[in-house]
Structure 1
Amino acid sequence: MNNPTLHIARRFCGPPNSGNGGYVCGLVAKHMDQTCQVTLHAPPPLDTDLQLHSDGDCLQLRHGDQLLASARPYTFDLDIPPPPTLEDAEDAQQRFVGIRYHDLPGCFVCGTNRDAGDGLRIFTGCVCDHEDQVAALWKPAADLADTNGNVASEFLWAALDCPGFFAVKPVSNMALLGRYSARIEQPVHAGETLIVSAWAISHEGRKHNAGSALYRSNGERVACAEATWISLNR
């Protein structure tokens, strides 16, 4: 039997020539039978057929002999702070630091160079006086929905990704996603307004742990995630 293939379209980049980490992790996770944690080992190339290989109850994403990502069964238990209000999230996104300078302005999730309807344009900024918590609003577009009209899980994984970076960025500076796990708790419909929240959990050397969550406008949680970000050596 042939191994399943994944194809990351250029639209879904993070850095200019590789896939957005959260989106790629979400694609791999769709092929797991249970909640999982995905580790990114190398930048996944764009517009290229990539192969998924089974390894017991784990999965590996490869490009030829190169290991790009691996997924293993995993259950996380987050200490989730109260969600920001709709008004607080709308106010917070006005403080998005990426407006002044962005390392990856073409990123599918948080890039400022992406037009509405192309990128997700999730611009998280500090919540009130909480420097380690960020928030924004997000209204998923219709083209992100699956055949049931619900936002496809890989886009929810993507939406939960970059906010975690901006929560740890004051300490981490430029960093890339290392490990990532998300849990989708309720279906999300295209066109509904969501509150995006993320917060720093801990910092240890070059490793920075963050949590993130998506809420309906009434504060009802629909998804959450846990991530480890790795600072780049400069």
Structure 2
Amino acid sequence: MIIESRFNGPPGSGNGGWSAGIFAANHGADGPVEVTLRRPPPLDTPLTVVDGDVLDPDGRLVAQVRPAGDPPPAVPPVDPATAAVVSAAYPGLRDHPFPGCYVCGPERTDGLRIFPGRLPDGRTAAPFRAPDPVVPATVWAALDCPGGWAVLAPGRPYVLGRIAAVVDGLPAPGDDCVVTGAAVEVVGRRAVVDTSLYGPTGALLGRARATWVAVSPQPASRP
């Protein structure tokens, strides 16, 4: 099991949602799964899952995979036109802590390019065109950053700490989908957020609840 370098989030680290989706798939649990990241997932490094613990070649704990209990609630859907309008005002286009992120980084022409904008009620929404190929980790990745952008603010970056997700279905390559996100609770440095992915017919394809942790700002990595 390897997180390839192109699936990065912060520089030198795997994107949290993609990494969690890979870890969950390799664990093979039935039903909702919760993944807790214990340190940044290393890139291009062989990893193993032992009794739900994801370990690096030196035996260090990278993540833990556990049953999640009840499925996360769904964030209400948004029509594609509204999602496109708010996405045009995506704050990450002007100020992004990790502009090379595979999911939401504006510098990644080869990424998912999910750019969540803020709705008047505080939720986020973004259009999402499914890539080719699509795997369950693609849905986990799409369910990652849109929730974070419900709490991210200039000078206040967050990173994913824990995510519990359910994949109800996979979009077909090229499908035009919509992702929605919402903040549930913010206490100190920790924020709980929900996200949902809807397919082109409006069907719910995935939902997640995640805990994000605020970190110190750092200079953005530019090519």
User: Normalising by structure 2, what TM-score?
Assistant: 0.91
Of all paired residues, the percent bearing the same amino acid is 36
Structure 1 residue aligned with 2:79? 85
Structure 1 residue aligned with 2:35? 38
Amino acid paired to 1:133? R
Structure 1 residue aligned with 2:96? 102
Which of residues 112, 129, 133 is equivalent to 1:139? 129
Structure 1 residue aligned with 2:186? 203
Amino acid paired to 1:47? D
- Separation (CA, whole Å) in 2 of partners of 1:82 and 1:45: 34
8 A Cα contact 2:158 2:212, kept in partner: yes
79 and 49 in structure 1: CA distance in 2 versus 1, 3 angstrom threshold = closer
Q: Does residue 53 of structure 1 match 2:56?
A: no
44 and 232 in structure 1: CA distance in 2 versus 1, 3 angstrom threshold = same
- Secondary structure at the counterpart of residue 38 of structure 1: strand
8 A Cα contact 1:98 1:112, kept in partner: yes
8 A Cα contact 1:172 1:208, kept in partner: no
- Separation (CA, whole Å) in 1 of partners of 2:170 and 2:108: 26
The root-mean-square deviation of aligned C-alpha atoms, in Å, is 1.6
Report which structure shows greater RCO (CA 8 Å, sep ≥6). Answer: 2
Which consecutive unaligned segments of at least 5 residues does structure 1 have? 1-5, 146-150
Structure 1 residue aligned with 2:111? 119
List aligned pairs for 1:1-234, cutoff 5 A: 6-31=1-26, 32-34=28-30, 35-54=32-51, 59-63=52-56, 64-115=58-109, 118-127=110-119, 129-130=120-121, 132-142=122-132, 145=133, 151-170=134-153, 173-233=156-216
Which consecutive unaligned segments of at least 5 residues does structure 2 have? 218-223
Amino acid paired to 2:187? E
8 A Cα contact 1:180 1:228, kept in partner: yes
Residue 44 of structure 1: how far off its partner (Å): 1.4
8 A Cα contact 1:178 1:229, kept in partner: yes
Count how many residue pairs are aligned between Structure 1 and Structure 2.
214
- Secondary structure at the counterpart of residue 167 of structure 1: coil
Residue 232 of structure 1: how far off its partner (Å): 1.5
- Separation (CA, whole Å) in 2 of partners of 1:227 and 1:171: 21
8 A Cα contact 2:95 2:154, kept in partner: no
User: Normalising by structure 1, what TM-score?
Assistant: 0.87
Structure 2 residue aligned with 1:3? none
